[in-house]
Structure 1
C-alpha cells in the first residue's frame, strides 16, 4: 500500500499543479496514459489517476467508492519498444556494453569492491554476483525495509549504503560511462524522439489538438535512460513515484519553449532541470537542435554491428585458424622427419637372428 499511496499523492500533486490547465472533470480527449505491460506499472498508473481525477457529482457511479475508471493503454511486453529499457535486441548496444566492461572506470570499480561483492555472494548464495546484478539484492532488501520487515543480520546500515552506491553505478553502466551519446541513440533517445514529436505536434496550431497531458507509467530504468540521453541524470537511482515533467509553453511572441522538472521527493515541488547548452526555459527549436544528435534516425539499422567490424573479426578469426593449422603442419612434419632419421639401433641384430633361426 505504500507504493499506491505514493502514486495517489503524485496524482494529487499533478492536479494541484495543472488545476488551471486540465478540466476539473475527466475528459478522454485531454489525457492519454501509456504503461508498460507489468502489473506494478499498470497499478501505479491507476493509483495515480485516482489522485489526479477524484470523481464528483455525476462521475460518482457508487456513492461508497471515491474512484472512477480511466483507461490505461499498453502493449504486450514482447512488442514494447518505447518504455522498457534496455531496449533489445540491439547487437551494437551489447557491443558497447562489452567495451564498457573493459573500461578503466568499470575495472577499477570492480577491483575496489571485489571483497564486498564476494561477501554479498556468500551471504545471499547468489553466484557470479557483479556490479551489473547487485541491484537485485539492494532492491529486495530495500522493499523489505520499506515494509518494516526484519533484515538479515549481515545487512547493516553501512552495507545498505554501499549496496545503494553500487546499484547507482550499475544504472550508470547501462546508459553511460563509455560512449554515452551512442548508447543514448540506441536507448533513451528512442523515448526522447517520441516526446519530441509530441511536443512538435502540440506546437502546431493548425493541428487543433485537444490532448493536454500525455503520461507514461514505466520503470526506474526508463527514467534513467531518458535523463542520461538528456545529460541531466544526477547518478542517483530514482525513488518510487518519481516524475520527469516536460511542459510546453507558448510565449507572447507566438513562439514555443520547453521547461523540464523532476519530482523525486513527495511533499516537495518538482525542481527545474536544464539541458546543457540552453537555459531552463529553452526555445522549442533550440531544444530540438540540442537533442537531435541523441535521437536515432533508424534504430534497427543503427543497432546492427557494422560490416567493417564483422570483416575485422572474420579476418582475425581466419588468421588465428590459419596460424594454428600451419603450426600443426610444421609439428607433423617434424615428427615424421624424426621418425625417418631415427638410427636402426639393434633392430638389425633381431632381424639377423630371425633369419638364422
Structure 2
C-alpha cells in the first residue's frame, strides 16, 4: 500500500491538495472567533490546618497566578496567534479595540491570565501607536482592556454564581444510590483524613486535598509525612475526586426523583457560557443582515445592547474575537453541554492549566451556509484537536442551525437568573374552597359610595357575590305592578 502510494504522483497530489485546501479553506470565510480558557498555574486555593505550607508560604497568597502561570498563558496566546493571525489572517496583528472583547471572571488569576495571554497573542507592539515610547514603559507591552462583573452575578463562572436551584440539585445528589455507595466505599479514607487534619471530612471536602497536594508536588515540595510517598492514599483521593467532578458535570448519576442530572446540571453549570457563545454567533449574523438595511432605524436590533452598552449591531459590525478567561470548572461545564462522558474531553479530571476551547463560525461563500467548528487546545501540545464531530448532535459536522438545535436542551429559559430562582420541586398551589355570600335580613343602611355602582364581583374560588342595587329593585317592583295591572285589565 505504501509502495503504491509513493509511486502514484496523482495520489500524492490529491493528498497535499486536500491538506492545503483544509488549511486555507478558499470557499469559506471565518466570521467570528470565540475562545474559553482556564487560567495558568496558581498557588493552592486553601489547605488543611495541619499542612506544612500555609498561606504565608505562597508569595501572593491563596489562589494567585504564579509567574509560571503567566508564562503558560503567553505560550497559549502565541499558539492562537499562529492560527488566527498568521495562518488564517483573520484577526489583525496589532491590538484593535473594535475587533476584540475580553471577559474574565472577577478573580485575580483569570484577569492576569487574560493580560498574559494577549502579550503572547499580539507580540511586540508598535512604539507610539500601541504603547508609549518611553524608557519607563516595558518594551513591547500593549495593555488590553479586560472586562468583568461581580462573581455572584456571573453565570459564566459556575462555581461562583449564587444559584438556589443548583443548591437543591446538590442536596438531591446526596440522596442518590451513587452517593450512598461512595460514602460506604470511601468511609475509611474520610475517617483517615478527618483524623490527620483534625477536621471532619465529607466527600466533597476531598477535592481540597487533591488540589493542594497536586500544586505542592508540582512545585517540588515535600508533602506532609502521612501523604508523602503514599501512592495508595493519593490514588484513592484522585479516584474519588474524579468521580465527584463527573457528578458535578452531570455524568455518572442515574435520574432520581424525576430529575435527569445529565441535562439539569450541564444546563445550570455550562448553559450560560454555551448560550453566550451561541447568542454571539446569532447576533453577528443578524447584525450583518441589518447593517445592509436602507433605513438607519432598521440597522439595530431593538432593545439589545453590547456588553459595553453600545448599540449591539454597531458594536458587532467590526467585532472578530471574543475571549473568555475562566476556570477549570467553566471548561468542564462547557464540555458537559457537548455531551462528553469525560470531564476533560477524553480523560477524567478537570481540564489542566491553560486548557482552551475555540469556537469558530464559518460561512460558505458559495451557498451562504454557516457552520461551527470547535477546537480543543491542550496544554503542552503545539496544535489543536478538532472536537466538533465528538459533540453530541454534530457527529457529521455541524451547521449553525444544527449547533443551535442541539444546544437548546441546555438553555436556561427565560434567563439564567430566573431559571436559578425556579424551585426544582415547585410547591403545589393551595386552592381555596368556594365561598358563598349571605345577606343579613335586617340590613337596611348602605352608603351611597358602596351601592351606586354595585356589580357582580368574582370571589375567591370562583363564586360570585351579588351586591344590592336599589335602582334595580325599584325597576323590578315597577314591572311587577304593571304586570298585575295588565292582568286585571284583561279580566
TM-score under structure 1 length normalisation? 0.80
Following superposition of structure 1 onto structure 2, how do residues 26-41 of structure 1 map, counting pairs within 5 Å? 26-41=95-110
1:21 equivalent to 2:137? Answer no
Alpha-carbon shift at residue 147 of structure 1 (Å): 1.6
1:139 to 211, 214, 231: 211
1:247 equivalent to 2:360? Answer yes
Q: Secondary structure at the match of 1:163?
A: helix
Write 1 or 2 for the structure with the bigger share of helix.
Answer: 1
Larger Rg: 2
Q: Which residue of 2 aligns with 1:333?
A: none
Alpha-carbon shift at residue 189 of structure 1 (Å): 0.9
Aligned equivalents of 1:141, 1:110: Cα separation in 2: 22
Q: Which residue of 2 aligns with 1:266?
A: 380
Q: Which residue of 2 aligns with 1:76?
A: 150
Query: Greater CA deviation, 28-37 or 107-116?
Result: 107-116
1:278 equivalent to 2:394? Answer yes
1:288 equivalent to 2:404? Answer yes
Q: Which residue of 2 aligns with 1:198?
A: 280
Alpha-carbon shift at residue 86 of structure 1 (Å): 5.7
Alpha-carbon shift at residue 80 of structure 1 (Å): 2.2
Aligned equivalents of 1:202, 1:266: Cα separation in 2: 33
Aligned equivalents of 2:220, 2:239: Cα separation in 1: 22
Following superposition of structure 1 onto structure 2, how do residues 67-146 of structure 1 map, counting pairs within 5 Å? 67-85=141-159, 87-90=161-164, 92-127=165-200, 129-146=201-218
Instruction: For residues 68-105 of structure 1, give each alpha carbon's deviation from its aligned partner in whole angstroms, at most 9, with x where no partner exists.
Output: 11111111224323324363232x32222222112122
Alpha-carbon shift at residue 279 of structure 1 (Å): 3.0
Gaps of 5+ in 2: 1-66, 256-260, 292-315, 344-348, 430-491
Q: Is the alpha carbon distance of 1:71 and 1:119 closer, same or farther for their aligned partners in structure 2, counting shifts above 3 Å? A: same
Alpha-carbon shift at residue 118 of structure 1 (Å): 1.8
Aligned equivalents of 2:376, 2:425: Cα separation in 1: 42
Q: Is the alpha carbon distance of 1:4 and 1:125 closer, same or farther for their aligned partners in structure 2, counting shifts above 3 Å? A: farther
Query: Greater CA deviation, 294-303 or 243-252?
Result: 294-303
Alpha-carbon shift at residue 257 of structure 1 (Å): 0.5
Aligned equivalents of 1:69, 1:307: Cα separation in 2: 44
TM-score under structure 2 length normalisation? 0.59
Aligned equivalents of 1:263, 1:125: Cα separation in 2: 41
1:4 equivalent to 2:70? Answer yes
Asked if structure 2 preserves the Cα contact closer than 8 Å seen for 1:175 and 1:225, the reply is yes
Asked if structure 2 preserves the Cα contact closer than 8 Å seen for 1:85 and 1:225, the reply is no
1:52 equivalent to 2:125? Answer no
Aligned equivalents of 1:79, 1:193: Cα separation in 2: 16
Alpha-carbon shift at residue 157 of structure 1 (Å): 3.3
Gaps of 5+ in 1: 313-357
Asked if structure 2 preserves the Cα contact closer than 8 Å seen for 1:131 and 1:169, the reply is no
